[in-house]
Amino acid sequence: MQKITKIITKPENIFLILCLLWGLIFLCVNPPFQSPDEPEHMLKMWGYTQKTLRYQVKNGQTGLELPQSLAYLYNFYNVYRLSNNKIPYKSTIQALEVPLAKETTTFLPHTPTSYTPVSYFPSFIILWIMKFLNIKPLCMMYILRFCSLLVYLALVYYSIKTTPCTKWMFLFLGILPVNIMQACSVSTDGITAGVIMLYIACTLKLAFGKDTLPNTKQIVIWGALITFVSLLKFAYLPFILLYFLIPEEKFQTPKSYYTNFLLIVLINIFITGVFLCGVISSPSINTYGLGHHFINKPELIKEIVLSPFAYIKMLFASAIFLKKFLYQNMISSIGVTLAMIPLKYTHLAWAGLICSVFYTDIKEKICNVTFKNKLWITAAVVLSFVLIMTSVYLVYQTKPYIVGVQGRYFTPLIPLILLLFYTKKFRLQSNVIPIGLFLISQCLLIQNLITLVLRYY
């Protein structure tokens, strides 16, 4: 009995149970296509099954040729995304019976996403198999949601198991409402958040773990993870600077230390460059749907480079303008950001996050995160913030504030922001802390469920 209790109370196992439980609840309760960009991600994967890597153009509109049944479901649920209308539960039950009938197709105009197949692995392969088996389209969506949840579950589980410190911080982050909601949807956010957490955990292990000298396998894994991060969302490429958390003394020579970093940087710059060439040449959002005039992305980038101070001023103004929304939306995002948990629960979530970074289990290692380490972490956070805002600006092209930004874009930055508060001098080791964090997380998830139900039913 004591052995079983010891296994269950491990942070990674607590996460496994809670994430699977709440993930399945949100997977079922959240109506189809109501997570942020869920229809677009579903269609993007469908395009991959047709060997359509980018988009199709017909009558001056971007879109995709797909079964009428899928187009019908897309149009039916799209009405509810930007309105406060309720979705009858019976309509979803009936929609589950709509057959695929993939032979009868139609062209559906929509704005394509720019994600690579890596962002949808292994979901698009499972979708291809389901398409071959003629699985009903709405059943496909729920299966893809479950697949996304399992991928996220595995990534965060190993993140908590790998990190030598702040295990409860990773646990609390892993079960934030926004992370679980996105993980159990047809989206790229679940795999992105999971890979980033695993990357940070591996970096902490290399920097503060017991191993004196990192071996070639560890460096290759670390390099592969940051490459996956940049492939998933290039705006997080500055996370590569976390390499400098690893002490130079852990390598045989200074030359090998910097050579490894330079090689990984060059690989990532090449891969990201190829990806950005495709993104920059793609149409901006709403170009076809609304007929707005958009500046070509290369010209807009040139404008930013030639007027850097004006652009930095706009970044600061946008951050101040959006601060309350981002503060809440980094914790909870329901539907197309039309609903979030109440502000008092958001305060509670941030309090729990800060508390989690100060808590250290008796058996857990206390890492020496130096001032120099925190400078590199700050650089990674600031540069990622700039790239996230800039990528949104290139798409929406709004002034004087950059709008279209969502808090969930910045949620992966939370562990780095929290590490800035980490110190050896002040640690919480009371057994009450994990119980408190557990109760706070359940309050947040229950409130998120209530908010979700009130929004749609």
> pLDDT tens, 249-287?
888 888 989 999 999 999 888 887 776 666 555 554 444
- pLDDT surpasses 70 at 315: yes
Angle at 127 between CA 126 and CA 130, to 5 degrees: 90
Q: To 10 degrees, the CA torsion angle through 117, 122, 124, 127? A: 180
User: For residues 70 and 103, what is the distance between their CA atoms, to the nearest angstrom?
Assistant: 12
Buried b (16+ CB within 10 A) or exposed e, 362-378: eebbebebeeebbebbe
- The SS3 call for residue 61 is strand
| Ranges of H-type helices in 233-341 | 254-280, 297-306, 308-329
- How much is the average pLDDT of 64-92? 87
pLDDT at 124: 87
- pLDDT surpasses 80 at 300: yes
Token pair, residue 88, equals 């009858």
User: For residues 150 and 449, what is the distance between their CA atoms, to the nearest angstrom?
Assistant: 20
Whether 33 contacts 81, CB under 8 Å: yes
pLDDT at 2: 60
DSSP string, 394-415: HHH--SSS--S--GGGTGGGHH
Weakest-pLDDT range from 73-77, 287-291, 399-403, 429-433 = 287-291
Nearest CA to 202 among 246, 248, 154? 246
400: cis peptide before it, omega within 30°?
yes
Angle at 141 between CA 135 and CA 147, to 5 degrees: 100
pLDDT at 281: 57
- pLDDT surpasses 60 at 232: yes
Nearest CA to 121 among 147, 84, 87? 147
pLDDT at 402: 92
pLDDT at 103: 87
Weakest-pLDDT range from 97-111, 123-137, 142-156 = 97-111
- pLDDT surpasses 90 at 50: no
Q: What is the DSSP letter of 337?
A: T
Angle at 325 between CA 323 and CA 329, to 5 degrees: 120
| Ranges of H-type helices in 163-280 | 167-174, 177-183, 189-208, 216-232, 254-280
- Quote the distance between the C-alpha of residue 288 and its chain's center: 27
- The SS3 call for residue 445 is helix
User: For residues 417 and 378, what is the distance between their CA atoms, to the nearest angstrom?
Assistant: 8
In the sheet that holds 61-67, the strands lie side by side as 56-58, 61-67, 105-109
Rounded to two decimals, the pTM is 0.92
Token pair, residue 229, equals 């991060």
Token pair, residue 311, equals 């652009």
> Where in the sequence is the domain holding 293, given as residue range(s)?
2-456
pLDDT at 291: 41
Domain count of the fold of the chain: 1
pLDDT at 328: 95
